[in-house]
Amino acid sequence: MQLYILRHGIADEGQPGQSDSERALTAEGKKKLRDVLKLARAVHVDPTLILTSPYRRAIETAQLAADVLGYKGELVRSDTLIPAAKPELVWDELRLHGEEAQVLLTGHDPLFSYLTGYLLRCPNLQIDFKKGAIVRIDLERFVAEPRGVLKWMLVPKLAK
C-alpha cells in the first residue's frame, strides 16, 4: 500500500463558543492545499480510498483532495483520525484496508507527526508536519507492528 498522510490546510481561528471541530479552511489554506495536491497528482497520487477525520477542516481537505486527484469514491470518516487519537488505532484501521493500493488520510497534528514516527518504527522521530503537507509511506505487510518506508514529504512552501 502507498499511504499518503495529508494534514489539513490552514483553518480559521474559530469564533467564541464555536467547537474546534467546526473550524473551516481559509481561502489561503485551500490555495496552498491545491498547489500541494496538483504536485501530488503529477507524481501519480491516485487514492483508492480516502479516510478523513470528522472535523470540518479535515473533511474540507479530503473533499479538495478528491476533487484535485480525481477520486470518485466515498470519503470515509473515522474517529481514529481526530487530533488526540492514538497511532496504534490508526494502524488497526489501516490493517482493515490492507488490500487498497493507495490510501489517503486527512487529519491533524499532533497525531500525524506521531503516526509517521510510529509507522516508520521511530517513535522518537520529530517531524515538523506543516499544515497542508503530505507524506508518502509505503507499507507491504499488515502484521501487528508496522514497517513502513518513507518515500517523500512535500510541504506547501515547495509546491509554489
Residue 69 placed within a domain: yes
CATH code of residue 121:
3.40.50.1240
DSSP H helices in the chain: 27-42, 56-69, 87-96, 111-119
**Domain that includes residue 86, residue range:** 2-9+22-159
pLDDT in tens, the chain (160 residues): 999 999 999 999 978 888 889 999 999 999 999 999 999 999 999 999 999 999 999 999 999 999 999 999 999 999 999 999 999 999 999 999 999 999 999 999 999 999 999 999 998 999 999 999 999 999 999 988 999 999 999 999 998 7
Torsion of CA 94, 101, 50, 46, to 10 degrees: 150
Residue 14 placed within a domain: no
pLDDT reported for residue 142: 92
- CA gyration radius for the chain? 14
Q: Residue 45 in contact with residue 102, Cβ under 8 Å?
A: yes
Residue 57 placed within a domain: yes
Number of domains in the chain: 1
Q: Residue 134 in contact with residue 156, Cβ under 8 Å?
A: no
Name beta bridge partners: 14: none
> What single-letter DSSP state applies at residue 143?
S
Residue 16 placed within a domain: no
pLDDT reported for residue 17: 83
Residue 32 placed within a domain: yes
The cell for 28 is 489561503
Q: Is the peptide bond before 110 cis (omega within 30 degrees of 0)?
A: yes
Residue 52 placed within a domain: yes
